Amino acid sequence: MANTKKVALITGANKGLGYEMARQLAETGITVVLAARDQSKGDAAADKLKKEGLDVQFLKLDVTNEKDREEAAAFLEKNFGKLDILINNAGIAADGIAGTSVSATTEQSLHDTFETNFFAPIELTQALLPLLKKSPAARIVNMSSILGSQTLHADPSSPIYGFKSLSYDASKAALNSFTIHLAYELKDTKIKVNSAHPGWVKTDMGTDAAPMEIPEGGKTGVALALLDESGPSGGFFHLGQPLPW
């Protein structure tokens, strides 16, 4: 008998936005594979959601590790035979959101940030695309940031004009480019690909200075993961509103 229940994989999901999106999706009846690189923290996060009666299981996945990506694909193939939702959530800000000046940005910071925020989502998506194509209507959500908007960064009147961190911002702009290109490749399929800006949220990265609580921050990614067939593809959104590239 075919597995008709939807299956979602969320990376970096042992805490913060990833954990919250896992909760919100599981509450809709979706099987959620909660992926994280730390075995003990991931197990603890999944167990906590299981105790709430949610269908969640942990998968050890360091998105920058090729072997882990291959094993993730094999795990999903063996246990579900498909993947309906992929949320590329794992990310870092090597210099912090506040960042540092361009002249002081190190090569190592750029390499480390792009490895996690750009290269890893592409490589993981490529590894899982055969399984996503087995879904009746898969959804891919790339968790980006308004700080990846080139348009807003170039506008002196925009709210982010004074907040610049080259490593992080450039990695998210590149991730947005991946969204556009992948959506174009898949435009004749039922797969939808979008970028999400969750907002400035009270997470480890966002700090307590952020105005948004985590449940609110999880809404954009979840909504894009649950788009119906009339929904957009190849866009950049925050709480249902389009953002400029």
| Residues 1-56 pLDDT 10s | 456 899 999 999 999 999 999 999 999 999 999 999 999 999 999 999 999 999 99
pLDDT band at 213 (very low <50, low <70, confident <90, very high): confident
What is the C-alpha separation between 71 and 8, in angstroms, rounded? 16
What is the C-alpha separation between 208 and 147, in angstroms, rounded? 18
The yes-or-no answer on residue 168 being catalytic is yes
Q: Phi/psi of residue 60, each to 5°?
A: -70, 120
Q: Which CATH superfamily is domain 7-242 in?
A: NAD(P)-binding Rossmann-like Domain (3.40.50.720)
What is the C-alpha separation between 124 and 9, in angstroms, rounded? 11
Are 197 and 17 in contact by the 8 Å Cβ rule? The answer is no
Question: Residues 172, 184, 187, 190: which is the catalytic one?
Answer: 172
The yes-or-no answer on residue 133 being catalytic is no
What is the C-alpha separation between 56 and 33, in angstroms, rounded? 6
Q: Which of 52, 13, 4, 60 is nearest to 32 (CA)?
A: 13
| Residues 160-181 pLDDT 10s | 999 999 999 999 999 999 999 9
pTM: 0.96
Residue found by looking up tokens 């435009």 in the block: 187
Question: Residues 6, 19, 82, 168: which is the catalytic one?
Answer: 168
| pLDDT in the model for residue 211 | 67
